[in-house]
Amino acid sequence: MKAVTNYQHKKILVLGLAKSGVSAASLLHKLGAFVTVNDNKPLSENPEAQGLLEQGIKVVCGGHPVELMDEGFELVVKNPGIPYHNPMVQKAMQNSIPVITEVELAYQISEAPFIGITGTNGKTTTTTLVFDMLKAGKKNPLIAGNIGTVASGVAQEAGPENKIVIELSSFQLMGISTFKPKIAIITNLYEAHLDYHGTLGEYHQAKARITENQEKDDYLIVNADQEKVMGIARKSQAQVIPFSTREVLSHGVYVSDGWICFNEERIIRREEVALPGEHNLENILSAVAAARLAGADKEAIIKVLKTFTGVRHRLQFVEEIGGRKFYNDSKATNILATQKALSAFQSPVVLLAGGLDRGNSFDELVPSLDGVKALVTFGQTAEKIKMAGEAAGIKTIVHVDNVEKAVPEAFNLSDAGDVVLLSPACASWDQYKTFEVRGDMFIEAVHKLK
């Protein structure tokens, strides 16, 4: 960890806890700052806040009192999930108090370079692939961000011999000022998080911040098949490394004659890659580029691509029972993700779908339901998804109470050779605390079938 002195005796507010807030507060306290933590959850129900209190950190819990902003803070470290229209964030900005996220702190103290991955879809899979490739190549990677340990915690342990591979959301990137990854990846850009960002343009601008501080000796790996991503690349000062699933490029990463290639070097035959789904090809290509640029040898990359079958809850193969293959894609919290999951299979599919109702219809899902032989629905959107299934001509549509009951029902509706796929096209919060919990319930129910 770098010897950072610029936070000594500074009065800093950490707004919102969870893992990133706890880590940021502890780190700033260690760096000599006068830290106040403010969290919405009452202190009696807040073990994280109680732990910080025991460290001697001032804690204000049970709400976000705007008058707290009158205490002369010089910096606010905001939990990424707290929107910028929050009154306390607004007050800070009105008072010209800088507002950052914890990933900025991590960068400032880190002795290790960062490999940052962002995009609408594929971040977690790509991050895991890069990490595994560097690990196989003995390049001392550490993993951080939404997928791993909190970035500022990892950065405290990292040395110059390490590389920090970090998944970055648009929420985190909005709160950077000097953060600069040595290698950055933008997997793709679609419409998402408009409830937070307000407009598609603002969402894209947030994603673009991953490269705003990069310089000519840094690398930006981008999706050449999307003009909106290439628009960001054209404004970057970094060396741009494009990847394409559609065409052979003059440089970058692409597929040619059945081979995945990096700058004309053949890496591996496409058919030898274990990870299913055409949509995962974007993740694979960008990961190959990042790993190669970070020094991983071809053999390490090949080893990972031949064995990596997916990240938990992201088109994760669970089990084969009675000739049916069960896949857990609980992370598919929007229609696009479910469309991509369905496109990964040639076999007949029994689809399990449903969840939180955000007010949208599922008309866009209809064309992707061609290969679905039966549909099992649950959650608030069950009726809407049933209507989409009927529009697609699916004859067998069954409604159940939850994912646990959907699994045996799907087994009964399927035959040997079929795929049983949990890909809900919805968030989980109507019935489950997180998509991970929903996916775990699916996995548990599949194992019970045995």
- Helix (H, G, I), strand (E, B), or coil: what is residue 192? coil
The pairing of strands 99-100 and 34-39 is unpaired
Closest Cα partner for 15 from 94, 98, 95?
98
- Using DSSP, state whether 204 is helix, strand or coil: helix
How far, in Å, CA of 29 to CA of 14, rounded? 11
Report the sign of the C-alpha dihedral through residues 346, 347, 353, 359, in that order: positive
Of 221, 237, 226, nearest to 204 (Cα)? 226
Q: Determine the straight-line distance between the first and last CA of the chain, rounded to whole angstroms.
A: 49
Residue type, 225: D
Task: Yes or no: say if 69 and 95 are a contact pair by the CB < 8 Å rule.
Answer: yes
| Long-range contact set of residues 433-437: C-beta below 8 Å, sequence gap at least 24 | 435/313, 435/330, 435/331, 435/333, 436/312, 436/313, 436/330
**Binding site: what residues are annotated?**
119-125
Distance CA 140, CA 346 (A): 38
Return d(Cα 119, Cα 165) in angstroms, integer: 15
Q: What are phi and psi of 146, to 5 degrees?
A: -60, -25
- Distance (Å, whole) CA 324 – CA 283: 27
> What tokens were used for 436?
């991970």
Q: Which two tokens stand for residue 150?
A: 């909190």
The secondary structure of residue 178, as a DSSP letter, is S
Beta strands in 237-360 (DSSP E): 239-243, 253-256, 259-262, 265-269, 316-321, 324-328, 349-353
Q: What would the DSSP string read from start to end of 18-73?
A: HHHHHHHHHHHHHTT-EEEEEESS-GGG-HHHHHHHHTT-EEEESS--GGGGGG--
Q: Which residues are annotated as a binding site for ATP?
A: 119-125
| Strand blocks (E) in 101-252 | 114-118, 141-145, 163-167, 183-186, 219-223, 239-243
